[in-house]
Amino acid sequence: MPGYPQRAQRLRAVQALGLRPGHTVVDLACGTGLNFSLIEQAIGPGGRIVGVDLTDAMLDQAQHRIATNDFRNISLVQADAAEFDFPPEVDAIVSTYALSHVPECADVIAHGAAALSAGGRWVVLDLKAPDNAPRWLAQLGVALARPFGSIDEWVVRRPWEAVRAAMQDELADLSWTELFFGTAFLAVGCVSGVYDSRTSAPGSLCSRRQLTSPAPRGLPWPLMPM
Protein backbone atom coordinates (compact mmCIF):
# COMPACT_ATOMS: atom_id res chain seq x y z
CA MET A 1 0.00 0.00 0.00
CA PRO A 2 1.55 3.37 -1.01
CA GLY A 3 2.81 5.35 1.96
CA TYR A 4 2.85 2.42 4.37
CA PRO A 5 6.28 2.17 6.10
CA GLN A 6 6.80 -1.49 5.31
CA ARG A 7 10.58 -1.37 4.81
CA ALA A 8 11.12 0.60 8.01
CA GLN A 9 9.04 -1.95 9.90
CA ARG A 10 10.95 -4.84 8.33
CA LEU A 11 14.23 -3.22 9.35
CA ARG A 12 12.94 -2.81 12.89
CA ALA A 13 11.95 -6.50 12.98
CA VAL A 14 15.37 -7.66 11.78
CA GLN A 15 17.11 -5.40 14.29
CA ALA A 16 14.97 -6.96 17.02
CA LEU A 17 16.47 -10.37 16.21
CA GLY A 18 19.74 -9.31 17.86
CA LEU A 19 21.79 -11.04 15.18
CA ARG A 20 25.54 -11.52 15.08
CA PRO A 21 27.89 -12.68 12.32
CA GLY A 22 27.56 -16.41 11.79
CA HIS A 23 24.03 -16.76 13.10
CA THR A 24 21.42 -19.01 11.50
CA VAL A 25 18.00 -17.45 10.82
CA VAL A 26 14.71 -18.96 9.65
CA ASP A 27 12.63 -16.49 7.62
CA LEU A 28 9.19 -18.09 7.85
CA ALA A 29 6.76 -17.29 5.02
CA CYS A 30 9.62 -15.40 3.40
CA GLY A 31 7.68 -14.50 0.26
CA THR A 32 9.94 -12.95 -2.35
CA GLY A 33 12.81 -12.55 0.09
CA LEU A 34 12.40 -8.91 1.06
CA ASN A 35 14.07 -9.58 4.42
CA PHE A 36 17.12 -11.32 2.98
CA SER A 37 19.33 -8.29 2.41
CA LEU A 38 18.57 -6.88 5.85
CA ILE A 39 19.42 -10.18 7.51
CA GLU A 40 22.56 -10.65 5.41
CA GLN A 41 23.92 -7.32 6.63
CA ALA A 42 23.78 -8.65 10.20
CA ILE A 43 24.93 -12.28 9.83
CA GLY A 44 27.52 -11.89 7.06
CA PRO A 45 28.68 -14.61 4.66
CA GLY A 46 29.38 -17.00 7.53
CA GLY A 47 25.73 -17.01 8.60
CA ARG A 48 22.83 -18.93 7.15
CA ILE A 49 19.26 -18.05 6.14
CA VAL A 50 16.51 -20.63 5.63
CA GLY A 51 13.68 -19.07 3.65
CA VAL A 52 10.39 -20.94 3.92
CA ASP A 53 7.32 -20.37 1.77
CA LEU A 54 4.45 -22.41 0.36
CA THR A 55 3.97 -20.98 -3.11
CA ASP A 56 6.01 -21.58 -6.24
CA ALA A 57 5.59 -18.00 -7.43
CA MET A 58 7.03 -16.53 -4.23
CA LEU A 59 9.94 -18.95 -4.18
CA ASP A 60 10.70 -18.24 -7.84
CA GLN A 61 11.06 -14.55 -7.02
CA ALA A 62 13.06 -15.32 -3.89
CA GLN A 63 15.45 -17.47 -5.93
CA HIS A 64 15.82 -14.65 -8.44
CA ARG A 65 16.66 -12.27 -5.60
CA ILE A 66 19.28 -14.71 -4.32
CA ALA A 67 20.88 -15.03 -7.75
CA THR A 68 20.80 -11.30 -8.45
CA ASN A 69 22.57 -10.52 -5.18
CA ASP A 70 24.90 -13.53 -5.38
CA PHE A 71 23.85 -14.71 -1.94
CA ARG A 72 25.56 -18.05 -1.26
CA ASN A 73 24.24 -18.83 2.20
CA ILE A 74 20.46 -18.97 1.68
CA SER A 75 18.46 -22.18 1.39
CA LEU A 76 14.83 -22.17 0.23
CA VAL A 77 12.31 -24.67 1.51
CA GLN A 78 8.81 -25.13 0.08
CA ALA A 79 6.52 -25.85 3.01
CA ASP A 80 3.38 -24.71 4.77
CA ALA A 81 4.34 -22.73 7.86
CA ALA A 82 2.10 -24.96 9.96
CA GLU A 83 3.91 -28.10 8.77
CA PHE A 84 7.49 -26.87 8.57
CA ASP A 85 10.02 -28.94 10.49
CA PHE A 86 12.29 -26.33 12.07
CA PRO A 87 15.99 -27.26 12.15
CA PRO A 88 17.36 -27.62 15.69
CA GLU A 89 19.36 -24.96 17.50
CA VAL A 90 18.62 -22.01 15.20
CA ASP A 91 19.59 -18.58 16.50
CA ALA A 92 16.55 -16.63 15.36
CA ILE A 93 13.18 -16.93 13.62
CA VAL A 94 11.34 -14.09 11.92
CA SER A 95 7.97 -13.87 10.19
CA THR A 96 6.77 -10.65 8.57
CA TYR A 97 3.22 -9.86 7.42
CA ALA A 98 2.22 -13.52 7.15
CA LEU A 99 1.71 -15.45 10.37
CA SER A 100 -1.63 -13.86 11.23
CA HIS A 101 -3.06 -15.52 8.12
CA VAL A 102 -2.04 -18.99 9.28
CA PRO A 103 -4.92 -20.48 11.31
CA GLU A 104 -2.43 -22.63 13.27
CA CYS A 105 -0.27 -19.62 14.16
CA ALA A 106 -0.08 -20.58 17.85
CA ASP A 107 1.27 -24.03 16.96
CA VAL A 108 3.83 -22.44 14.64
CA ILE A 109 5.06 -20.23 17.48
CA ALA A 110 5.40 -23.28 19.74
CA HIS A 111 7.25 -25.36 17.15
CA GLY A 112 9.66 -22.52 16.44
CA ALA A 113 10.30 -21.84 20.11
CA ALA A 114 11.23 -25.50 20.63
CA ALA A 115 13.87 -25.22 17.88
CA LEU A 116 15.58 -22.05 19.13
CA SER A 117 18.97 -22.19 20.82
CA ALA A 118 19.38 -20.66 24.28
CA GLY A 119 19.08 -16.90 23.94
CA GLY A 120 17.48 -17.22 20.51
CA ARG A 121 14.74 -14.80 19.49
CA TRP A 122 11.36 -15.25 17.79
CA VAL A 123 10.18 -12.05 16.09
CA VAL A 124 6.76 -11.53 14.49
CA LEU A 125 5.90 -8.41 12.53
CA ASP A 126 2.33 -8.51 11.34
CA LEU A 127 -0.89 -6.64 10.75
CA LYS A 128 -3.83 -6.23 13.11
CA ALA A 129 -7.08 -4.36 13.33
CA PRO A 130 -6.58 -1.26 15.49
CA ASP A 131 -8.35 -1.28 18.85
CA ASN A 132 -10.87 1.45 19.70
CA ALA A 133 -9.91 3.32 16.56
CA PRO A 134 -11.85 5.90 14.58
CA ARG A 135 -13.62 4.51 11.54
CA TRP A 136 -11.05 5.80 9.05
CA LEU A 137 -8.23 4.06 10.91
CA ALA A 138 -10.10 0.77 11.18
CA GLN A 139 -10.70 0.94 7.43
CA LEU A 140 -6.95 1.44 6.92
CA GLY A 141 -6.19 -1.71 8.88
CA VAL A 142 -8.69 -3.66 6.80
CA ALA A 143 -7.25 -2.26 3.57
CA LEU A 144 -3.74 -3.36 4.58
CA ALA A 145 -4.89 -6.92 5.22
CA ARG A 146 -7.16 -7.21 2.15
CA PRO A 147 -4.54 -8.76 -0.19
CA PHE A 148 -3.96 -11.65 2.19
CA GLY A 149 -7.37 -13.31 2.47
CA SER A 150 -10.87 -13.08 3.89
CA ILE A 151 -11.08 -9.88 5.91
CA ASP A 152 -14.26 -10.75 7.79
CA GLU A 153 -12.81 -14.05 8.95
CA TRP A 154 -9.49 -12.41 9.82
CA VAL A 155 -11.10 -9.68 11.95
CA VAL A 156 -13.38 -12.11 13.77
CA ARG A 157 -10.54 -14.56 14.42
CA ARG A 158 -8.24 -11.82 15.77
CA PRO A 159 -5.09 -13.88 15.12
CA TRP A 160 -2.78 -11.27 16.64
CA GLU A 161 -4.24 -12.20 20.01
CA ALA A 162 -3.39 -15.87 19.40
CA VAL A 163 0.15 -14.90 18.42
CA ARG A 164 0.57 -12.83 21.57
CA ALA A 165 -0.81 -15.54 23.84
CA ALA A 166 1.38 -18.24 22.27
CA MET A 167 4.51 -16.13 22.58
CA GLN A 168 3.70 -15.41 26.22
CA ASP A 169 3.29 -19.15 26.84
CA GLU A 170 6.33 -20.38 24.92
CA LEU A 171 8.93 -17.62 25.29
CA ALA A 172 10.49 -15.33 27.88
CA ASP A 173 10.56 -11.54 28.12
CA LEU A 174 7.86 -10.89 25.54
CA SER A 175 7.97 -7.40 24.07
CA TRP A 176 4.84 -6.21 22.23
CA THR A 177 4.81 -2.92 20.32
CA GLU A 178 1.95 -1.60 18.20
CA LEU A 179 2.96 0.28 15.08
CA PHE A 180 1.42 2.77 12.66
CA PHE A 181 -1.65 3.73 14.70
CA GLY A 182 -2.27 0.15 15.81
CA THR A 183 -2.50 -1.36 12.31
CA ALA A 184 0.58 -3.53 12.89
CA PHE A 185 2.51 -5.05 15.76
CA LEU A 186 6.07 -6.14 16.52
CA ALA A 187 6.33 -9.04 18.97
CA VAL A 188 9.69 -10.25 20.27
CA GLY A 189 10.28 -13.18 22.60
CA CYS A 190 13.27 -15.32 23.49
CA VAL A 191 14.44 -18.62 24.87
CA SER A 192 16.17 -18.00 28.18
CA GLY A 193 19.96 -18.06 27.90
CA VAL A 194 23.02 -17.51 30.02
CA TYR A 195 23.43 -13.88 31.03
CA ASP A 196 26.35 -12.11 29.36
CA SER A 197 27.26 -8.91 31.20
CA ARG A 198 29.25 -7.64 28.20
CA THR A 199 26.28 -7.55 25.84
CA SER A 200 23.17 -7.42 28.02
CA ALA A 201 21.82 -5.21 30.74
CA PRO A 202 20.00 -6.65 33.77
CA GLY A 203 16.41 -7.33 32.78
CA SER A 204 17.15 -6.95 29.08
CA LEU A 205 15.42 -9.07 26.45
CA CYS A 206 17.01 -12.35 25.43
CA SER A 207 20.60 -12.36 26.62
CA ARG A 208 22.71 -14.53 24.36
CA ARG A 209 24.40 -17.78 25.32
CA GLN A 210 27.43 -17.37 23.05
CA LEU A 211 30.10 -14.79 23.87
CA THR A 212 31.76 -15.02 20.46
CA SER A 213 30.38 -15.49 16.96
CA PRO A 214 29.53 -19.15 16.37
CA ALA A 215 31.13 -21.16 13.61
CA PRO A 216 28.92 -21.52 10.53
CA ARG A 217 26.69 -24.55 10.71
CA GLY A 218 25.47 -26.60 7.80
CA LEU A 219 21.77 -27.03 7.10
CA PRO A 220 19.98 -30.19 6.05
CA TRP A 221 18.53 -28.61 2.89
CA PRO A 222 20.34 -27.77 -0.35
CA LEU A 223 19.59 -24.56 -2.20
CA MET A 224 16.25 -25.16 -3.82
CA PRO A 225 16.54 -25.51 -7.63
CA MET A 226 14.24 -23.25 -9.60
* Domain locations along the chain: 6-190
pLDDT for res 189: 97
Give the range with max mean pLDDT: 138-152, 195-209, 210-224.
Answer: 138-152
| Residues 26 and 90 sit within 8 Å (Cβ to Cβ) | yes
pLDDT for res 203: 45
pLDDT digit string, tens, across residues 82-131: 999 999 999 999 999 999 999 999 999 999 999 999 999 999 999 998 88
pLDDT for res 214: 36
How far apart are the C-alpha atoms of 179 and 177, rounded to whole Å? 6
pLDDT for res 143: 58
How far apart are the C-alpha atoms of 9 and 191, rounded to whole Å? 23
DSSP 8-state assignment for residue 223: P
How many other CB atoms sit within 10 Å of the CB of residue 177? 12
Which overall architecture, per CATH, does domain 6-190 show? 3-Layer(aba) Sandwich (3.40)
| Residues 116 and 174 sit within 8 Å (Cβ to Cβ) | no
Give the lowest-confidence range in 9-13, 54-58, 166-170, 197-201.
197-201
pLDDT for res 130: 86
Supply the DSSP string of 140-184, one letter for each residue: HHHHHHGGGS-HHHHHHH-HHHHHHHHHHHHSEEEEEEEETTTTE
How far apart are the C-alpha atoms of 197 and 27, rounded to whole Å? 29
57 vs 220: which has the higher pLDDT: 57
pLDDT for res 216: 35
Sheet with strand 116-127: strands edge to edge? 74-78, 48-53, 24-28, 90-96, 116-127, 184-190, 172-179
15 vs 2: which has the higher pLDDT: 15
